[in-house]
């Protein structure tokens, strides 16, 4: 009798059969893909042994699309059709591009949703489409190296990417035909690559300076569990900005004030980048451009980029403060990203944290290697007990309430995935619908926060103000993507939305929002207190006015006139008063003066309910 082989649910039927999963580091300057093989995690290379793929796409003649090195070779001769640094444009609005410091030569158009579209010879191309081309090239390399189709991929993103940027990354992967197992924060991936999870506990700082983005994350490790305590950074700062400063220095030496054409600009940036890379090992290099030649020393270059380095360390200081830690409480510092090879970066970061930063693993490879290890777990090839990751939200999520206030549902630096609910009620009698306005930010008023989405809960049963119970639930998944639902607890009617925000929040905006929340904290508290009293005044005016319209016959003329006078006084003070304490006192005065009216209404209501009823009925 033959034996029938069976398998556990979700596991391959063949004992030796492995699911193929990879980690993809979608970088601003370079991208790469890694997988776990018999010898451990390794970065997959092409036939020439190259591991790094320039994150560049060229749309050539006859609809041919070039990626990587072949696209880079066309960047000088065909700059308008060669898309570079598209990661910086993911999740952005057209209006943000000028502030990103990209110096891009492209002609842009605008999508209805605000997404920038780039004019190329094949038509309009979005940053999502261009990123999909790069991800597709990574998937093809992996399938060729592994000899089979992929079952999934973990794709890394800067820890400070907001909802729109994360969603745009997922959309690009879907367009490339890749099943996303998870979006993983780049700094967390780096810590995994160093095997820091094997320690019992500790605080880890991951300083991630890439080509186009900078991230700093403070991780806490406890019994194999990674928790991101706080994140910070700037997605418009990276090695590309070093190149621009060096390029501007060259132009200064040339004494050229005019704007270069796209071809010359691209050539200049390439020269600057080569000089930067060479000065990582050399003390001085020869630089030549457009007939000019000169020398650039490492000391001079470090002087040029020092302000940007100080900017990254200010982010480190803020993030440590968010985590409630001091620099000497950090046990390990991990360096990530090609620019961290520069001696000034290694020196300044080590000096700031008071310990030698880890750089033994190739800083270009470390993120992809960590992502590959996580992919191996998520695809089912290893036990999920090996590692648990707990990331956090970069900004608070809330809902706009009456008076333009923001009620925070999930606070920034809350561990995700997370689900939180809060109950709200109606403001007016007979209210049958409620607009749910989803907000993001740290300020107290909706005008100072970012609008993510709106949706309407309809068919709420008509009740008196305050009687309805509306439960609003915010749920953030492991990738940092948000869904919001609102449910009337009486009728069970429900409405929901998956938040795919507009492309309007730049990383500088996030930093600015945090700065504003700290700078304006006292003013915000006072403004919120005033607005809350204004809402209470509106409610008092609405309730008293409604009561007088329906039951004024319970009062004599002088009592009605007195209450109306008080109501108008409250209305005038609500419009002009800027001191919440004075307004609160007036509300209290009107409330106390109308208590006798409320008692009369209640007595009348009870009498009406008891008319024609005998004791037997009531029993």
Q: What H or E segment, with its residue span, contains residue 571? A: helix 557-576
Alpha helices for 255-394 (secondary structure H): 262-278, 298-323, 343-353, 366-378
Report which of 201, 257, 263, 258 is spatially closest to residue 227, judged by C-alpha positions. Answer: 201
The helix (run of H) or strand (run of E) holding residue 120 is strand 116-120
Crossing angle, helix 521-551 and helix 580-593, to 10 degrees? Answer: 20
SS3 297: strand
Residue 40 dihedral angles phi and psi, to the nearest 5°:
120, -170
Catalytic one of 25, 348, 376, 448: 25
Q: How far apart are alpha carbons 73 and 230 in whole angstroms?
A: 40
Q: Is 25 a catalytic residue?
A: yes
- 283, 298 contact by CB (below 8 A): yes
Residues 131, 136, 140: CA angle, nearest 5 degrees: 155
Determine the Cα–Cα distance for residues 593 and 603; give it in Å rounded to an integer.
Answer: 17
Which residue matches tokens 């994140």? 231
Catalytic residue among 78, 208, 267, 507: 208
Pick the catalytic residue: 96, 163, 186, 332? 186
Which residue, 176, 159, 101, 191, is CA-closest to 322? Answer: 159
Q: Strand pairing of 180-185 and 284-289?
A: unpaired
Tell me which of 78, 87, 93, 243 is the catalytic residue. 87
Q: Which of 16, 51, 17 is CA-nearest to residue 372?
A: 51
Query: Is 87 labeled as catalytic in the residue annotation?
Result: yes
Residue 208 main-chain phi, psi, to 5 deg = -115, 100
Q: Which residues are catalytic?
A: 25, 87, 186, 208
């Amino acid at each position: 009798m033959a034996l029938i082989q069976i398998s556990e649910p979700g596991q391959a039927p063949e004992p030796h059969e492995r699911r193929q999963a990879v980690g993809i580091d979608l970088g601003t300057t370079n991208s790469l893909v890694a997988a776990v093989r018999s010898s451990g995690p390794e970065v997959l290379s092409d036939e020439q042994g190259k591991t790094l793929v320039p994150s560049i796409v060229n749309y050539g003649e006859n609809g041919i699309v070039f990626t990587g090195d072949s696209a880079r070779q066309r960047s000088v001769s065909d700059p308008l059709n060669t898309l570079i640094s598209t990661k910086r444009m993911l999740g952005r609005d057209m209006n943000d591009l000028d502030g990103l410091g990209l110096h891009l030569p492209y002609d842009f158009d605008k999508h209805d949703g605000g997404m920038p579209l780039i004019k190329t010879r094949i038509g309009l191309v979005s940053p999502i489409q261009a990123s999909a081309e790069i991800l597709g090239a990574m998937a093809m390399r992996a399938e060729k190296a592994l000899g089979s189709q992929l079952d999934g991929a973990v794709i890394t993103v800067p820890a400070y990417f907001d909802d729109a940027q994360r969603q745009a990354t997922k959309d690009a992967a879907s367009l490339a035909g890749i099943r996303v197992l998870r979006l993983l924060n780049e700094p967390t991936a780096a810590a995994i690559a160093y095997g820091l999870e094997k320690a019992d506990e500790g605080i880890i700082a991951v300083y991630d300076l890439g080509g186009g983005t900078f991230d700093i994350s403070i991780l806490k490790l406890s019994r194999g569990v990674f928790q991101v305590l706080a994140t910070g950074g700037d997605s418009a700062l990276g090695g590309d900005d070093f190149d621009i400063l060096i390029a501007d220095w060259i132009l200064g030496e040339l004494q050229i004030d005019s704007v270069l054409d796209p071809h010359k600009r691209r050539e200049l940036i390439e020269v600057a980048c080569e000089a930067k890379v060479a000065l990582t090992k050399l003390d001085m290099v020869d630089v030549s451009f457009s007939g000019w030649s000169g020398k650039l020393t490492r000391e001079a270059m470090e002087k040029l980029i020092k302000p940007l380095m100080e900017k990254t360390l200010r982010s480190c200081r803020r993030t440590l403060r968010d985590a409630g830690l001091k620099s000497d409480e950090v046990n390990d510092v991990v360096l990530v990203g090609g620019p961290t090879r520069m001696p000034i970066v290694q020196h300044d970061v080590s000096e700031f944290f008071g310990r030698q930063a880890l750089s033994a693993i190739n800083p270009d490879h470390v993120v992809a290697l960590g992502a590959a290890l996580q992919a191996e777990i998520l695809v089912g090839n290893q036990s999920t007990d090996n590692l648990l990751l707990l990331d956090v939200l970069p900004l608070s999520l809330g809902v706009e309430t009456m008076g333009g206030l923001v009620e925070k549902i999930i606070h920034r630096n809350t561990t995700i995935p997370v689900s939180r609910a809060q109950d709200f009620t109606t403001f007016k009698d007979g209210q049958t619908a409620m607009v749910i306005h989803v907000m993001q930010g740290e300020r107290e008023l909706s005008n100072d926060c970012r609008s993510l989405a709106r949706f309407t809960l309809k068919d709420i049963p008509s009740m008196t103000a305050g009687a309805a119970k509306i439960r609003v639930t915010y749920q953030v998944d492991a990738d940092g993507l948000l869904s919001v639902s609102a449910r009337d607890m009486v009728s069970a009617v429900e409405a929901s939305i998956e938040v795919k925000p507009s492309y309007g929040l730049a990383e500088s905006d996030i930093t600015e929002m945090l700065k504003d929340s700290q700078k304006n904290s006292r003013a915000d508290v006072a403004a919120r207190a005033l607005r809350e009293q204004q809402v209470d005044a509106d409610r008092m005016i609405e309730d008293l006015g409604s009561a007088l319209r329906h039951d004024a016959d319970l009062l004599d003329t002088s009592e009605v006139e007195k209450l109306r006078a008080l109501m108008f006084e409250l209305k005038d003070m609500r419009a002009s008063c800027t001191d919440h304490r004075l307004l609160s006192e007036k509300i209290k005065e009107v409330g106390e003066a109308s208590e006798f009216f409320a008692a009369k209404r209640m007595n009348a209501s009870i009498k009406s309910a008891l008319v024609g009823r005998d004791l037997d009925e009531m029993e």
